Structure formats: C-alpha cells, structure tokens
Chain A
Amino acid sequence: MKVKKKVLGLSTVVLATSIFAVACGGDDNLEEAMQEERNDAEENNNNADAGEEADNDTNENEGNEEASGEAQDGGDLTIGIVSDPVQFLPTHSSDTASGDIEDIVFNQLVRIDEEIEIQPELAVDWEESEDGLTYTFEIHEGVTFHDGEPLTADDVAFTFNIFIDEDYTGPRGGYFRALEEVEALDETTVEFRLSEPDARFLGNLGFGIMPEHILGDVPATELEEHDFTRDPVGSGPFEFDTWEDGQYVQLTAYEDYWEGAPHLDRLTLSIVGDQNAMMAQIEGGDIEMGVVPATDFSTAERWDEEGLVTLSSTLGYQYNYMGYNTRLDMFSDKETRQALTHAIDRQTIIDQVGQGQGEVAHGPVSPLSWAYPDSMPEFEYDPDLARELLEEAGWEEGGDGILERDGERFSFTLKTNSGNQIREDIAVIIQSMLNEVGVEVDVEYVEWGAFLDQIYPPNWDFDAIILGWALGTDPDPRAIWHTEEIEQGQNYTGFSRDDVDELIDENVLIVDQDERAEALHEIFEIIAEEQPYTFLYYPNDLVAIPTNLEGFIHHPRLSYYKPHEWYFTAE
C-alpha cells in the first residue's frame, strides 16, 4: 500500500461521521431502509477469494474493454437510491443518502481518493506550521457557487466556524474540539488555528463548503430550518434542481464548473424504497446505476455477462462483527472469546450470506488502510481447537451437552436489528456453529430504535450483538476502543485496557505518519488479540453501472466520486 508522503494525516472525518452513518444506516426495515442500503454495500464482494491482498482496484472497470465507443457529451443518468435523503446541510446531515448527494453538489477543501488518501480539491496546497498548530490553505481562484457568486476563503472560514459555534448542535462537534479559529487572510487564503496538534485534522476537513452570502446571517441554531437544507447551493459539478419527496432528486450539470463542465447533462437519483425494487428497476431499465445487494450478486453477475449492466466491485471500507458484552462473566476472559472466534467459520458466512463477496476480517481496521499491521493476530476456523481452548478456559460439558463454568451454563442471546437480512442470517449461522462446540445461542431481532436503546449506555442490555462499522479515513480507534467511550460513546462491549488508552491518547499527537502507524499497529494488534469482537468480514461493495458509462471510479467509501468525469460512449 503506497502512501504519499505529502499527505500527512489521513482524514478522521469519516470515522465519526461514518460510525454515525452506520448506526443510522443500520436500520431496518422499513426505515431501516437506510440500513439496507448500507447493508448492501456491506455485502458485496468482488471476487471472492481475494485473499489478504488489499488491492482495491480489482476489477474497477470491467467496462473498459467495451470502451470502444466514442466519448460523447450529454446524456442523463438515472441512479437508484434506497432511501429518501433527509436534509442537505453538510455541517449537519448524517444519513447516507444526503451525504452522497452533498458529495456531488458541494466542493470540499480536500477529498479522499479511492486509495483512502487525502487529495486537494478546492485547496491548491496547504502548509502546516512546525508546532502543528496552524494550517494555511491556498484555494483555487475562479470557483463560483451555482448562483454565480464567487467561492472565496470567507466561505471556507464561514463553513468551519459553524462547527465551533457554541450553538452548534450537529453531530460533528467532536471532531473540531482542537480547532480554535478559522480566518480568511485574503480572497484565497484561509488559516486554521488549533489549540493542540491533531494528526486527524486534515481528515476532518471533508465537508462541503457552504455559501456565506446565503447562510451568513442565519444563527447556528436555525440553520437546519433554513430553506437551504431543501434547496442547497454549492459549487460542485452538478447543481441541485428538484427534490420530489419520496420520488427523486434531480441534479443538472453546472456548466461553469471550475474543473470543467460535466459531460453528463443530468443526474436523477430515483428513490426506490428497497433493494428488491432497486433490482427490479435495474433489470427493467428504469434505473441505470445502483448498489447491488450481496444477496443478489449472482443475478447481477449474470446481467453483466448478458451485457445489461457492468458490475463493478471493490472491497468496502467497513467490517461486520459480533461484539461481546465483556461485562458478563462468560465473556470476561479473552481465552473464551478467542475460542468462540475459532468456532466461527467466517469464510462460510461470507459464502453463505454474501455469496462469497467479502474478505475475512481479523481486526478493527481495513486492510486498505496504511494503519493495518503486518502481524495481526488471527484466529482461524478450527472447531476442535475451539473446544480445547474452551476446556482450558474452564468450560466443561454439562448434562445437557451445553458447556458450563462455575455453575453457569454457556448460553446467551445474540441480538441484531430486525429487517437487516444479512445480519439476521449471520446470527442464525453463528447460532448453529456455536452449537457445534457446546454453546447455546438464542437469536433475537430487535427493531432498530429499540435495539439502539438497548445497546447504548447506560443500558448495555445485550449479551452479544451483530453490527457493522463503516470505517473512517483516519484510523484513530478512540471512538470505539477508548475507556472514556464506555460511559458515553460507542464502546458498547466495555473493552478497557490502560495501555490501549494511553496509546490512543498518544497517536493523535504524532504528526508523522510512519511513527503514528507504529502506535496504531500496536493498538490494533492488542485489540485483535483480545477479541472483544469476533471480527467477521469486510464486505465488498457492488455497483451496477451502464455498460457504456466511462470515467466511473469505484471508490471504497464514496458512492459518487468525480461525477463530472463520467461520460457515455456511443454504442
């Protein structure tokens, strides 16, 4: 995995954001529609046995070979999305659908590329002071918002000052705790001043720049109620046109786009409600591009062979896991947890639930990340070893064939949110696999809202759960693994180790990426050794695109990456 030196911190941005997104996204059914979407994304895979290779540009464009046609300008592209967007306000919105559209309508100072590295976008360049407390950005000239007003350093300062406004109630205040002030020095120069060094800082900048001339006078508390959230004005390649509630969002090409006018005339994001409708409409031709659920991989693959669509696949930047409530006696020792992981055949789960589309996971970090350690502890599927280890950990077979330790039967409830077919299926499979080694598992599906309520602090009302995390571009593990995140945060399992806490506190202060990587490797190795989760797998991300669409880059994190470079070839 090459790492460009120039790019220092990878972005943190997404960790928090993304965690929240998954959390939201996880939901079900019905609503849960968002979740479904996430799910889909989760399950896909690419070519199956991709092994440990973290090569994400696998079959990026199978379509290439068909690219014999001529490039042409113009054309409309209809993209299916599962759920309705919520609001368009980059500083506040947290759902996947809104975020994806904001990625098209707005420009950011920097943006992560398909190798999860930070690249300048509006920024021409930036400088970081010796002490790591000041970042100075030079931005492009001649960028205009869709209403024709120029985008200047003032707009950048305006946008980021919202996060540190004392009245800011959005979900991202946490990423900017170290940020003290943002100031425009001139038309194209903006300076960020921090109270302490923060290795994650650059990653925090991946938010759309909003126009001060429209929102400048709106108090922070009223931003979310402003009409802008339903009719946003950005500077991105496509401008917001219409939003028909529950039906579609339409974006039209911004001819004066500073990186060059988009080739396509119009993007229509059609809201289809669920994955099955998405598949039916892709086949019917009503939708040309959309996420394919892993459960429908075989169908999509057939369409690819028949020339109906091009199926693109890449390793998703996320993982699914089974988390243990380490507060319980039965899960309190790592030997037991490791044994359980040995008893779970994760490759079979991928094959069964995700039609082979994914890679077995061993730790809380993606192999796509520079922070992935070389020597991650791995606990391979080996039920005999699992039984042996359980015995060593003090578990003995009771009268009914279920293990017992100190009079406690090894019997627990595995919860996940209802309506998420993939997680439900994983639970059933794990139930039967653990049964093989003498562990009794009850499976329970709980509606998303009630589920969150049960697992959130201070309830922690669960034995074990199945969930997924979308990973942030910055690998800082604090939000899930620091002791401080137990009482108020997402460390549901109650994982706590002083040495890990210390390392986490330190890692964000290390600005040099290589040095920081060492600290992170250590953290991840400890967590993987402890197995507070059984890390299940990294699902692949599958997208069906029109066979004559070129310029599409399958980004592991962003649904629509550089859409102004997409074009149709004449067939």
Chain B
Amino acid sequence: MQQEPVNMPSSTPPEPGPNDPKLKKKPDTLTKIILTKFFRNKLAVAGGIVLFIIVTMAIFAPLIAPQNPGDVEMDLLNRLAPPSTEFIMGTDDFGRDIFSRVLYGAQVSLLVGFLAMLGGAIIGTVMGSLAGYFGGRVDALIMRLVDILISFPNIFLLILLIAFFSPSVGLLIVFLASLGWMSTARLVRGEFLSLRQREYVLAAKTLGMKTNRIIFQHILPNALGPIIVASTLSVGNLIIVESVLSFLGLGVQPPTPSWGNMLQSAQNYTIMRDAWWYPVFPGLMIFITVLSINFVGDGLRDAFDPKMR
C-alpha cells in the first residue's frame, strides 16, 4: 500500500533528448511508435484486455448481475452457499449473490480509483505548472508542501480525515485525490524546469505568445507521457488504498458494495473458515484488476520511454 509508486524509478521525466523538436513536428509518428511499442508488450496487452472486460462488466452490471445488490435475501437456506451454477461465486452471510455484489462493487471501486486518480492528476498538474512556471517562492512553497506530504505516511492523514468526517463516496474521492497529487506535481515541475530554457519555448516567449499557450502547447504535451504512466499506476494503488481503508471500517460504507468493504464483511472468523469463497472472490478481483492496471501502466511506461525507443 505504498502511497506513491516510489518504486518506479523510470517514472522520472524522460530526459528530453535531441529528438524533442522532432516530437513537435511529427506527433502522429510518435503516437504510432508508442502504440506499436505498447502492443508489442504482451503483458500490457493482456492487462488491457482484462481491464476492458472488467470495466465493461462493471458498466453493464445491471444487465449481467443476477441479483440487485440492494435486495436482502432473507432465505436462510441460501446463506453462505458455496459456488454453484446458480451462484457462481457463492453467497454471503445474507444469502446475497457474491457475483452480483462483486459486479456492483466494481463500479464503486473503479469509480473511486479512477476519479481519485483524475483529481490527483489535475491537482498535480496545476500545482506542478504553478511551481515550474513561476519558480521562486511559489515553487519553494509548493515543493515544501510536496515534501511534507511525501515524507509522511499519508494513510495516517487519510485515516484521520475519514474517521472524523465519515465521508460519503464523493468526499472519499476528494480526500484520496487531495493526498495523491504529489508525484504528478513533481513530474510536471521537472518538465517545466527542463523545458523552460529550451529554444523553442524561449522563442515562443520572445514572439509574444501568451503564457497559457506556451504551457498548453509546448510544455504539458511533453509531460503527458509520464503523467499518464504515473496516473495509470496510481489507479491500482488507489483501489488498494480503498480496500485497506474499508478493512479498517473507513472506506465506502455498506450496504453499498465495494470490493474493500466486501472483504471487510468477510472478515468474520467463521466465514473465513467455512466460506472461503466470500473473502477470496472480492480479493481476487482487486488482485486481478490492480495487476492488469499495473501491466498496462508498465507497458505505457516502456512505450513512452525514449531510451527504449
């Protein structure tokens, strides 16, 4: 449950090589190169396919799921029923179909992971741009803030926030995003620092181009690759963080199902002993999803990495 993919050394900005100006001229070619490289990576492609399936199933959960997860099946006969043709993942302690709940849980878990990532990426890009563009005091201030948040197990802060505010799913996403922007900010800032002095940016400046245009036309596109890679990987991490928070009773609150809170409900001793399917399937879903996301992220990283071109 590392907060940041600290272990990803190559998520540092790629050194802008001499081919950067080219990049501007022939973006299509570059995209093509990246895609070609990505599709050559079998793990990444497999991850992408699995992820696509999971997302599709989540979106169409109401059509696929045999049960509406809101229904409480009071039928004691179906309580903790093992996997069968009727209940392919078995039932939980209320006799609810675990497969249905896993599908609906996917909506929640993926939504939390994806939106929190998006929020984090946006905040990070803004902060990084501010720091990189203005430099000086603004930069120092923002980077100190980054240092503070990074040099501290920020799950502590999350636990405090969530325990004390008892947030809704929306607020949970906001909290996750507001503690998940630091690596993006560093990336973007790094890109600014390295590109600010480059000729074409300087040229643009002397030509009187507006600051905004410089940022949006020249600098951000360059940072996009690393941002996409880091963000992709962070979705997986966020899904895990949500499950950890749920494990502590702090994530998405039941009866709304999420993979994390299903695992938490499955944590009862008797269930763990007698109904292995309950803790196993939601956990497997987290595992498969995060694994796929990481494969995709890793594939993207290699694809974007100019050193490996």
Contact = CB atoms under 8 A, between A and B. Distances in A.
Please tell me whether chains A and B touch each other in their complex, using a CB distance cut-off of 8 A: yes
Interface of A: 28-30, 32, 275-276, 279-280, 293, 295-296, 298-299, 348, 351-352, 418-419, 421, 424-425, 428-429, 431-432, 443-447, 449-450
B273 A352 contact: no
Contact of B270 (A299, A352, A429, A450): A299
B283 interface: no
Interface stretch (B10-18, B113-121, B132-140, B249-257): B249-257
Contacts of A295: 93, 268, 270
B94 A450 contact: no
A298 to B, nearest CB: 6
Interface string B234-255: 0000000000000011100111
Contact of A352 (B74, B165, B255, B267): B74
Interface string B149-184: 000000000000001111000000000000000000
A418 B253 contact: yes
A352 B249 contact: no
Given A30-B248, A419-B249, A431 B270 contact: no
Nearest to B273: A299
Given A30-B249, A428-B254, A445-B254, A279 B72 contact: no
B274 interface: yes
Interface in B63-84: 71-72, 74, 76, 79
Contacts of B274: 298-299
A424 B254 contact: yes
Interface of B: 71-72, 74, 76, 79, 93-94, 163-166, 248-250, 253-255, 265, 267-270, 272-274
Nearest to A436: B74
22 contacts: A29-B249, A276-B267, A276-B269, A293-B269, A296-B268, A296-B270, A298-B270, A299-B269, A299-B270, A299-B274, A348-B74, A351-B76, A352-B74, A418-B249, A428-B255, A429-B74, A431-B255, A432-B72, A444-B253, A445-B166, A445-B253, A447-B166
A446 B166 contact: yes
Given A29-B248, A443-B254, 13 more contacts: A30-B163, A32-B249, A275-B269, A279-B269, A279-B270, A293-B269, A352-B74, A421-B265, A428-B254, A429-B94, A432-B72, A444-B253, A449-B164
A428 B94 contact: yes
Contacts of B163: 30, 447, 449
Contacts of B249: 28-30, 32, 418-419
A508 to B, nearest CB: 39
B270 A428 contact: no
B166 A418 contact: yes
Nearest to A451: B166
A276 B94 contact: no
Contacts of B273: 299
Contact of B268 (A418, A419, A421): A421
A424 B76 CA distance: 18
A322 B79 CA distance: 24
Select the residue from A275, A418, A429 with max chain B CB neighbours within 10 A: A418
| 8 shortest interchain CB distances as A-B pairs | A279-B269, A432-B72, A29-B249, A419-B249, A299-B270, A296-B270, A276-B269, A445-B253
A461 to B, nearest CB: 12
A425 B248 contact: no
A293 B270 CA distance: 10
Contacts of B94: 352, 425, 428-429
Contacts of A418: 166, 249-250, 253
A419 B250 CA distance: 9
A30 B251 CA distance: 13
A30 B74 CA distance: 29
A299 B93 CA distance: 14
B17 to A, nearest CB: 51
A63 B267 CA distance: 30
A444 B254 CA distance: 8
B166 A432 contact: no
A421 B93 CA distance: 12
Contacts of A445: 166, 253-254
Nearest to A355: B270
A296 B270 CA distance: 5
A28 B94 CA distance: 21
Contacts of A279: 269-270
Contacts of B248: 29-30
A350 to B, nearest CB: 12
Select the residue from B79, B248, B254, B267 with max chain A CB neighbours within 10 A: B254
Contacts of B272: 276
A348 B74 CA distance: 8
B189 to A, nearest CB: 37
Contacts of B255: 428, 431, 443
Contacts of A299: 269-270, 273-274
Contacts of B166: 418, 445-447, 450
A279 B270 CA distance: 9
B269 A296 contact: yes
Nearest to A345: B74
B263 to A, nearest CB: 13
A432 B71 contact: yes
Contacts of B267: 276
Contacts of B93: 295, 425
Select the residue from B164, B250, B255 with max chain A CB neighbours within 10 A: B255
A185 B274 CA distance: 63
Nearest to A351: B76
A421 B267 CA distance: 10
A148 B207 CA distance: 95
A28 B248 CA distance: 10
Contacts of A30: 163, 248-249
A432 B68 CA distance: 12
Contacts of A432: 71-72, 74
Nearest to A32: B249
A419 B164 CA distance: 14
Nearest to B71: A432
A292 B71 CA distance: 29
Given A444-B253, A450-B164, A428 B269 contact: no
A470 B261 CA distance: 29
Select the residue from B71, B72, B269 with max chain A CB neighbours within 10 A: B269
A446 B93 CA distance: 22
A159 B153 CA distance: 46
B269 A447 contact: no
Nearest to B256: A443
B71 A447 contact: no
Given A419-B249, A428-B254, A447-B163, A352 B269 contact: no
Contacts of B72: 428-429, 431-432
B211 to A, nearest CB: 45
B268 A276 contact: yes
Select the residue from B71, B249, B255 with max chain A CB neighbours within 10 A: B249
